[in-house]
Amino acid sequence: MLDRAHEMPPQLIAPLVAEEVHAIGGRDVSILLQDYAQLTLVSLPGRGLKETEPVPLVGSLAGQAFLTETAVEHAEADGVRLFLPLLDGSDEIGVMALTLDVVDDDDRRLLRRLAGLVADMLVTNTVYSLGSRNWKDPSAKPLVGAPLPTSQSRSERPRAERARSVPGSGSGRCRSA
């Protein structure tokens, strides 16, 4: 089904992603996209996705994955919460978050590939267009077809600089994959 993802209407991307994650035993799937102010990650709404309040880029696990461009794993009571950066070429789009009971190397490889496909689908189908920092703002008008609000390409910002900007990026409970 993912091989036809470029041909699907944008409103079907969320259910497809949720279905694919569920197929490998995942749950609580969120797609968090960078807002235009470049301060938070905002939930993409859609059937099958868990919506959250905006997540700050600095000081959150999702923000750590975004800023360092590496997967972050966090042990929780009901499994492992993963935060995977959504990268399209040199552009950072956002983060895909999900929970698995356990995670092994095969899961990590599969999820990195899935995250790449999700980023590609979002860019190709231009579903990623924020009118404000909050998807639920009724006065916000979506900027359909607008360019993606990426801050800088990876080549414009050294990895070490991004990693230093993440408080607590080395704590014992978080682990980069």
pTM for this model (two decimals): 0.70
Take residue 155 and report the two structure tokens written for it.
């080549």
Res 155: pLDDT = 46
| SS3 of 105-145 | HHHHHHHHHHHHHHHHHHHHHCCCCCCCCCCCCCCCCCCCC
Residues of the chain short of pLDDT 50, as ranges, are 1, 127-177
Res 29: pLDDT = 96
The count of residues in the chain is 177
Res 126: pLDDT = 55
* Cα separation, 61 vs 27, whole angstroms: 17
